[in-house]
């Protein structure tokens, strides 16, 4: 009788483990797919939202909502406006240091 019960328990455990693996498989596969952010590039709206969120650090409640609304509605700068802004930020730098700063600034904007 003990052998019969032992086999039944083993089968039950194996069946339970198999069932658990079947349930966990799709969940783990789905989680693994979302873990790699490089798989899907961010849209322009997602990028803008992330940038605005960084700028809104420290703001809360209505102040945060108002800032985010204005930030997301803001139109992107033209290349001339970006160049003028980077040039102002790079004031005081000379030569290659200025050129490198402006180049980096233009690429970031």
Return the pLDDT at 98.
93
pLDDT in tens, the chain (109 residues): 556 555 655 565 555 555 555 656 555 555 555 555 556 787 778 888 888 888 888 999 999 999 998 888 887 778 888 888 888 888 899 999 999 998 988 887 6
> Do the Cβ atoms of 101 and 77 come closer than 8 Å?
no
Return the pLDDT at 7.
60
Q: Tell me the C-alpha distance between 72 and 68, whole Å.
A: 6
pTM: 0.36
């Amino acid at each position: 009788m003990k052998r019969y019960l032992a086999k039944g328990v083993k089968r039950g455990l194996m069946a339970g483990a198999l069932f658990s693996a079947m349930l966990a498989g799709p969940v783990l596969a789905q989680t693994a797919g979302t873990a790699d952010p490089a798989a899907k590039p961010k849209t322009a709206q997602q990028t803008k939202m992330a940038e605005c969120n960084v700028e809104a650090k420290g703001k809360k409640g209505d102040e945060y909502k108002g800032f985010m609304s204005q930030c997301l509605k803001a139109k992107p700068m033209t290349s001339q406006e970006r160049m003028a802004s980077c040039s102002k930020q790079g004031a005081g730098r000379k030569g290659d240091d200025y050129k490198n700063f402006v180049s980096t600034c233009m690429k970031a904007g």
